[in-house]
Amino acid sequence: MLYLEDMKIGQKASFGNYRVTRDEVIDFASKYDPQPFHLDDDAAAKTHFGRLSASGWHTAAMTMSMLVENLKNAKQAGLGSPGLDELRWLKPVYPGDTLRVETELTDVRPSRSRPEMGSIHSLVTVFNQDDVPVMTMKSIGLVATRPKT
Residue 84 falls inside a structural domain: yes
Instruction: Tell me: pLDDT of 25 over 90.
Output: yes
| Cα separation, 28 vs 20, whole angstroms | 11
Closest CA to 93 of 131, 58, 66: 58
Residue 149 falls inside a structural domain: no
Residue 20 falls inside a structural domain: yes
The pTM score is: 0.93
Instruction: Tell me: pLDDT of 70 over 80.
Output: yes
Domain count, the chain: 1
The whole-chain average pLDDT of the chain stands at: 96
E-state strands within 1-149: 12-19, 83-89, 98-110, 117-127, 133-144
Element (H, E) at 42: helix 41-45
Q: Residue 28's CB: how many other CB atoms inside 10 A?
A: 19
Instruction: Tell me: pLDDT of 10 over 80.
Output: yes
pLDDT (0 to 100) of residue 149: 77
| Cα separation, 107 vs 116, whole angstroms | 18
Instruction: Tell me: pLDDT of 110 over 80.
Output: yes
Per-residue pLDDT averaged across 70-92, rounded? 94
Per-residue pLDDT averaged across 7-12, rounded? 97
Residue 33 falls inside a structural domain: yes
DSSP 82: S
Residue 148 binned pLDDT confidence (cut-offs 50, 70, 90): confident
Instruction: Tell me the CATH number at 30.
Output: 3.10.129.10
Residue 79 falls inside a structural domain: yes
pLDDT (0 to 100) of residue 74: 87
Which structural domain, as residue segments, surrounds residue 89? 4-144
